[in-house]
Amino acid sequence: MTVEILRGVLGWCAVINMGLLLWWFLVLAFAHDLVYRMHSKWFKIPVETFNAIHYAGMTFFKIVIFAFNIVPYVALRIVA
């Protein structure tokens, strides 16, 4: 595997993952009540806990994207 291929894979992984993160945010921003109603049928949690779980999940996902996709991509751009 060449550096160019690895750089391309990391770049596309970052784009796809950021798209998923954006989709997650938009769904919660525009259909929060619908998503909460669906999840509250399975799990009896208050809305504050639901919001905290999703906010923490999005934060963790963003950190993972930066740590495993964007930082290695930028490092390969600098080195090569």
DSSP 31: S
Angstrom distance (rounded) from CA 24 to CA 29: 9
The count of residues in the chain is 80
> 15-20: which pairs have CB atoms within 8 A and are 24 or more residues apart?
17/61, 17/65, 17/69, 18/65, 20/61
Q: Is the pLDDT of residue 68 over 90?
A: yes
User: pTM (2 decimals)?
Assistant: 0.90
Q: Is the pLDDT of residue 80 over 90?
A: no
Angstrom distance (rounded) from CA 42 to CA 40: 5
Q: Return the pLDDT at 24.
A: 98
